[in-house]
Amino acid sequence: MNINIVCPHCLEVSSVEKKESTISQKCTKCGDSLLDAKPITANAVILEHFMKNSDLPIVVDFWAPWCGPCISMAPHFEKAALAMPLQAQFLKINNDNEQALGSKFLIVSIPAVLLIKEGKEIARFTGARSNKQIQKWVRQYI
Ligand SMILES: [Zn+2]
């Protein structure tokens, strides 16, 4: 079965075979690795693109530079992302820069982490969590 993945490097859509374990999976457009699961810095346009095109669940961290718990969660969010290549795509959105998006998703406190599947929000949590807690939470939905 093939699934569509948005390349973290060029943001083009790649259709790749879904396998249980993958040693190498390259973007069909730019040739870079689709296994590079570092969180992607996104904005409203990029999020929309992922929501329309990615077959993987999207995990979005709404954060801001002045928010202590956001800063302390950042390395945990990154570790969770790196542990889950081809299972979910992790995005980070600076809520201060994207206030319209923040109000569209009713973000009232940050960090707020939303899980979006098939274009719809299906779960969220607020407040900092650890790497393990984030992974466990995401795995419920994949
Ligand atoms: Zn690419």
CA separation for the pair 110, 18 (Å, rounded): 33
pLDDT band of residue 1 (cuts 50, 70, 90) is confident
Q: Can you tell me the distance from the alpha carbon of 137 to that of 132, in angstroms, rounded to the nearest whole number?
A: 9
Distance 14 CA to ligand 1 centre (A): 8
Q: How far is the CA of 76 from the centre of ligand 1 (A)?
A: 25
Minimal CA–CA distance to 42: which of 60, 30, 28?
A: 60
Predicted confidence at residue 16, as pLDDT, reads 86
> Would you state the pLDDT for residue 24?
84
6-64 pLDDT, tens digit each: 999 999 999 988 766 667 889 989 999 999 999 999 999 999 999 999 999 999 999 99
Please say if 30 is a catalytic residue: no
Residue 101: its H or E element: helix 99-104
Cα pseudo-dihedral 71, 117, 55, 102, rounded to 10: -50
In the chain, pLDDT over 70 holds for what percent of residues? 97
User: At 13, which amino acid appears?
Assistant: V
Question: For the domain bounded by 35-139, which CATH number is listed?
Answer: 3.40.30.10
